[in-house]
Amino acid sequence: MTSTLITGGLVVTAADEVAADVLIEGGRVAAVVDRHSTVAASLTADRTQDATGLYVIPGGVDGHTHMDFPFGGTFSSDDFETGTRAAAWGGTTTIVDFAVQTRGRALREGLDRWHAKADGRCAVDYAFHMILSDVNDGTLREMDALVAEGVTSFKLFMAYPGVFYSDDGQILRAMQRTAGNGGLAMVHAENGIAIDVLVEQALAAGRTDPRHHGEVRKALLEAEATHRAIQLARVAGSPLYVVHVSAREAVEQLAAARALDLPVFGETCPQYLYLSTDNLAEPDFGGAKYVCSTPLRPREHQAALWRALRTDDLQVVSTDHCPFCFTGQKDLGRGDFSRIPNGMPGVEHRMDLLHQAVVDGHLTRRRWIDLACATPARMFGLYPQKGTLAPGSDADVVLYDPHAEQTLSAETHHMNVDYSAYEGRTVTGQVVTVLSRGETVLDRRTWVGRAGHGRYVPRGVCQFLD
Ligand code: URP
Ligand code: ZN
Ligand code: ZN
Ligand code: ZN
């Protein structure tokens, strides 16, 4: 395996910003050496990458993706091959995807199926969470075995009755299990039972277009479910990670829990930071492109999300990448918004949209790397193998041009989906070169990666719990 020396860049991690050269050997970071030290001049390698004028950052860790995911009678349009390639184009070198338990079946069967979907197809590394769709004695026992083999987090749904939904008793039982086995309980916090009543009433009154998806999935029903999830986790003694937080009122619940020093964590996603119910109201069924759950909120919620990212009441930004094509998939919900497959594309643009937040003054550079790389790696037991650039870390390295301007568009993105949620939006900053375990997969914006380079990464337990 060749060694590589990355010279001339500004190395940015969650902890530090230094003008340093990075030496890579055997697929790992061997040294990060201050450019002005005497050692720097003596470093040699088989090849050199010039990063003058660029940031040298750890590859992104996207803790929430859904490749090849069954929803609403169809499957998300990116599979592990196209989805991980798009991730790499955007500087993300590790995804944690959600394996799904089929109702009435074992966790093992679902996990095996997800391994089969991903095995040999990924361009970058991947790991799994497990979605519990059927909490019972057998499932609960299986959770221990999954934690031991590196699937250390479990998603429970308070939403989607009849599909992924678990009732409070099931959620409590699963949380009692994670309290004992080191696992992390993840919750989709929306009161799905109440929402389904509002859905029925809306449809009966002829309110069928995508805008109403946002109206029935009320912020208060996200806040209520967030509160309930927190109390259930407290009763069980389990850590809790609330996924895709979008409502200001839900953030308030998380902040209150964290003020009590409870092991409660939360993520948000770029779509909640940049898009709003205005998008859901786009004409000619265009709002369907933005149907996801939790839903986009009125613009006023965004300030609370940005603030929470700064105060650490939210710790992670993931994408919840779950693309469905406008033509042929989102279409399923014409005339009935409740049949629009839920989810949005985004895995390619998380690093850029968060860098834009640095440009706009919402975040510092280090917080950008913290939210997108280091903290998701710690949260999901991957640090410091992933999420940082330190001796011994996997050499997942991104050379990032902070001055390049790019316009996001379906014409130029690499996700397998026929629209961009950010069509025409210009951002400052672009990925130039990407290394995955020392191998170049994107070289000055030429794709040189391959399906099957990406490896499965078993995870340790959440690293925020001691
Ligand atoms: O709308 C979404 N978020 N689709 C993916 C499934 C989920 O709830 O995360
Ligand atoms: Zn500059
Ligand atoms: Zn969800
Ligand atoms: Zn999701």
pLDDT reported for residue 105: 97
pLDDT reported for residue 268: 99
Residues in the chain: 466
Residue pair 265/242 in contact by the 8 Å Cβ criterion: yes
pLDDT reported for residue 266: 98
From the CA of 242, which ligand is nearest? 3
The domains found in the chain, sorted by start residue, are 59-379 (3.20.20.140)
pLDDT reported for residue 280: 98
The verdict on the CB of residue 189 being under 6 Å from ligand 1 is no
Give residue 150 CA to ligand 3 midpoint distance, Å: 21
Tell me the residues surrounding ligand 4 (ion) with CB < 5 Å: 320
DSSP 116-170: HHHTTT-SSEEEEEEE-SS-SHHHHHHHHHHHHHT--EEEEESSSTTTTB--HHH
pLDDT reported for residue 413: 98
Write the ipTM.
0.92
Residue pair 67/87 in contact by the 8 Å Cβ criterion: no
pLDDT reported for residue 265: 98
The preferred substitution site among 297, 320, 324, 330 for testing ligand 1, maximizing ligand atoms within 8 Å of CB, is 320
Q: Which atom of ligand 1 is nearest to the CA of 157?
A: 8
pLDDT reported for residue 1: 75
Residue pair 188/153 in contact by the 8 Å Cβ criterion: no
Residues of the chain with pLDDT under 70: none
pLDDT reported for residue 103: 95
pLDDT reported for residue 401: 99
Nearest protein CA to atom 4 of ligand 1, as residue: 343
The verdict on the CB of residue 100 being under 6 Å from ligand 1 is no
The verdict on the CB of residue 188 being under 6 Å from ligand 1 is yes
Other CB atoms closer than 10 Å to residue 449's CB: what's the count? 22
pLDDT reported for residue 34: 97
